[in-house]
Amino acid sequence: MANTFLKSVVDFTKNVKTTGALYQTSKQIEKEICSKIDQETKIVVEFGTGLGNITQRILDKLPADGKLYSFEVQAEFLEDVKALIQDDRLVLINDGAQNFDKYVTEKVDCFISSIPVTLIPKEVVMLALEKSYAALKVGKYFCQVLYSPFHKKKFSAVFDEVEIKTAASVPLGFIHHCQKITA
């Protein structure tokens, strides 16, 4: 356990500009960010696979006939996850969030994102958000974890409703549940 924690700290520290974190998210964040996944959920897109802790939580909630497309820009993280998680519902993709529509052609039930939107150029973030909104089914959610509560305006510019929930972690996690209400 200590060895795994140390490895994750080293991996995240080496890649802090693309992960935006020094270690994996807490169990409370994993639970809250995945709270909009239900038994009706079939297609989930994850931005920021990291070392797979949120990925595994998504798979635990996803029905047997579901599919998870998980995007990560760090190829070495994907190799770690590929070795750790063997699940036919998981499709690992080494590309950025803004390009997800090259791989996912069906409508999406839920987006789960842990990418560091504060470190990525605004144009890239807005493009990914706008494409996510277009691909999202009506009534469904785009869920983003951040460690600051000051980004609601960014999400409100794209999504119809935005609710922020906190989750215990160090630092405190703010999960933005962004809903598409109209077609």
pLDDT of residue 12: 39
On the CB side of 103, how many CA atoms lie within 13 Å of its CA? 20
Full-model pTM: 0.87
Residue segments in the chain with a per-residue pLDDT below the cut of 50: 1-22
Cα separation, 90 vs 66, in Å, equals 9
pLDDT of residue 1: 42
CA distances from 12 to 21, 82, 150 (A): 6, 17, 23
In the chain, where the domains are located: 25-179
> 25-179 is classed in which CATH architecture?
3-Layer(aba) Sandwich (3.40)
Over the stretch 51-91, which tens digit does the pLDDT of each residue have?
999 999 999 999 999 999 999 999 999 999 999 999 999 99
Strand partners, 44: 68, 110
Number of other CB atoms surrounding residue 125 within 10 Å:
20
pLDDT of residue 21: 44
Torsion angle, alpha carbons of 20, 14, 124, 173, to 10: -10
- The letter for the amino acid at 65 is D
Cα separation, 152 vs 155, in Å, equals 5
CA distances from 114 to 17, 20, 40, 84, 105 (A): 13, 9, 23, 19, 22
